[in-house]
Amino acid sequence: MATDYYAVLGVRRDASQDEIKKAFRRLARELHPDVNPDPKTQERFKEINAAYEVLSDPQKKQVYDLGGDPLSASGGGGAGGFGQGGFGNFSDIMDAFFGTASQRGPRSRTRRGQDAMIRLEIDLNEAAFGTTKDIQVDTAVVCTTCSGEGAAPGTSAQTCDMCRGRGEVSQVTRSFLGQVMTSRPCPQCQGFGTVVPTPCPECAGDGRIRSRRTLTVKIPAGVDNGTRIQLAGEGEVGPGGGPAGDLYVEIHEVPHAVFQRRGDDLHCTVTLPMTAASLGTKVPLETLDGMADIDIRPGTQSGQSIPLHQHGITHLRGGGRGDLIVHVEVLTPMKMDVEQERLMRDLAKLRGEERPTGQFQPGQQGLFSRLKDAFNGR
């Protein structure tokens, strides 16, 4: 050949594709007509475009290295080809000036699957001490008929005859730069570079099917509402039998009939008659650890709290447990018979409480009032 494309770009004959591309970008920035309008420079710019068009294409480069005509062999060299002085692939020109990466070549049919999430209800006891649960998961799995290939048994994907496996087709248009070649995904193979003439009848060519399976999930002690447990690789299998995403199990704690959870502490309220609160008693309570006697001391007032340490929820991170707080509510009798009322009056007389004057105290401050006083230095 009369033209040495390697010499035009200033690279060795064993230069890599990356070295060829870097040389083209460097020269394109120097010789582009918008930068240097000199007619001789424009001819030089056409030469580096022609050289890059051949050396950047493995098929054309192989024909050129063997001494053949790469443009004839690939069907190029027409009115819009680089051999006729066009300005090359538009993405390569933009890459030369702005450093954008050209995404060439077919895209893979195999892609990672999506993550999935399911809700799992557990009771308070399971949240406190942990448990193991079997869950039913309905997700996409690899098609067993085609093993994720997407083609019917005995067949395989074939190279697209429109783009010849490149995944993209080129089109020549006219612009302010002259004749510009642009590329777009091949409409026949959707950019994959291959077509599946006979799709798998089981998955319709997707390489995956829906299936229900059973998984065992270990629930750690101390989980709370909204806690998510990640099961890596147990989500949706990707198209083309691609790697599966992750499965997230979101915990939802069923409300307890007696206890209310606040962090790792448990709270409950015990209602006592006035006599029991005055004289003292023991109240049996079914805790998470079994039966326990709540010691109500004589003179216990309504609103008092009795803590049972280490009877709450296990700390999710770190050892130990929260507390169980028992709140006392003392009931004042609303209706009494004649004998009960007589006894109550006798008790009041013995205690000197027949005509109590009462003790008045300032009302309890709310949160915002206390904050205001704190800022004012009170």
3-state secondary structure string, the chain?
CCCCHHHHHCCCCCCCHHHHHHHHHHHHHHHCCCCCCCHHHHHHHHHHHHHHHHHCCHHHHHHHHCCCCHHHHCCCCCCCCHHHCCCCEHHHHHHHHHCCCCCCCCCCCCCCCCCEEEEEEECHHHHHHCEEEEEEEEEEEECCCCCCCCECCCCCCEECCCCCCCCEEEEEEEECCEEEEEEEECCCCCCCCEECCCECCCCCCCCEEEEEEEEEEEECCCCCCCCEEEECCCCCCEHHHECCCCEEEEEEECCCCCCEEECCEEEEEEEEEHHHHHHCEEEEEEECCEEEEEEECCCCCCCCEEEECCCCCECCCCCCECCEEEEEEEECCCCCCHHHHHHHHHHHHHCCCCCCCCCCCCCCCCHHHHHHHHHCCC
Q: Tell me: the pLDDT tens digits for 257-290?
A: 999 999 999 999 999 999 999 999 999 999 999 9
Assigned domain for 128 exists: yes
Same domain, yes or no, for 65 and 144? no
Confirm or deny that 203 is annotated as ligand binding. Answer: yes
Mean pLDDT of 310-315: 95
Same domain, yes or no, for 148 and 26? no
The confidence band for 376, taking pLDDT boundaries of 50, 70 and 90, is: low
Return the half-sphere exposure (C-beta side, CA atoms, 13 A cut-off) of residue 98: 8
* pTM of the model as a whole: 0.61
CA end-to-end span of the chain: 96
Assigned domain for 206 exists: yes
Same domain, yes or no, for 244 and 278? no
Same domain, yes or no, for 245 and 270? no
**Cα 306 to chain centroid, rounded:** 44
The parent domain of residue 207 ranges over 116-156+196-253
Bigger pLDDT: 106 vs 203: 203
Q: Is the pLDDT of residue 89 over 50?
A: no
pLDDT at 374: 58
Question: Average pLDDT of the chain?
Answer: 83
Same domain, yes or no, for 248 and 264? no
Q: In sequence order, what are the residues at sequence separation of 6 or more whose Cβ sits closer than 8 angstroms to the Cβ of residue 337?
A: none
Q: Which amino acid is at 120?
A: L
Q: Is the pLDDT of residue 132 over 70?
A: yes
- Nearest 5°: the CA angle 19, 21, 24 is 110
Residue 44 belongs to a domain with what CATH number? 1.10.287.110
Assigned domain for 180 exists: no
Assigned domain for 234 exists: yes
Mean pLDDT of 29-39: 70
Assigned domain for 280 exists: yes
Q: What percent of the chain has pLDDT over 70?
A: 80
Same domain, yes or no, for 287 and 365? yes
Assigned domain for 168 exists: no
pLDDT at 353: 76
Same domain, yes or no, for 127 and 244? yes
Same domain, yes or no, for 246 and 325? no
Cα distance between residue 225 and residue 55, in whole Å: 61
CB 137 within 8 A of CB 198: no
Q: Tell me: the pLDDT tens digits for 171-187?
A: 777 665 566 667 788 99
Confirm or deny that 268 is annotated as ligand binding. Answer: no
The confidence band for 82, taking pLDDT boundaries of 50, 70 and 90, is: very low
Provide the domain count of the chain.
3
Mean pLDDT of 65-85: 50
Same domain, yes or no, for 87 and 15? yes
Residue 272: phi, psi to the nearest 5?
Answer: -125, 145
Residue whose C-alpha is closest to residue 21's, from 52, 66, 45, 65: 52
Bigger pLDDT: 66 vs 71: 66
The confidence band for 91, taking pLDDT boundaries of 50, 70 and 90, is: very low
Give the pairing type, strands 324-331 and 305-308.
antiparallel
Same domain, yes or no, for 237 and 279? no
Assigned domain for 106 exists: no
Bigger pLDDT: 193 vs 35: 193
End-of-domain residue from the set 209, 234, 253: 253
Q: Which amino acid is at 294?
A: I
Same domain, yes or no, for 217 and 268? no
Cα distance between residue 169 and residue 183, in whole Å: 6
Same domain, yes or no, for 270 and 320? yes
Confirm or deny that 200 is annotated as ligand binding. Answer: yes
Residue 372: phi, psi to the nearest 5?
Answer: -65, -45
pLDDT at 259: 96
Cα distance between residue 240 and residue 357, in whole Å: 85
Residue 321 belongs to a domain with what CATH number? 2.60.260.20
End-of-domain residue from the set 231, 253, 275: 253
Assigned domain for 317 exists: yes
Count of beta carbons in the 10 Å neighbourhood of residue 157: 20
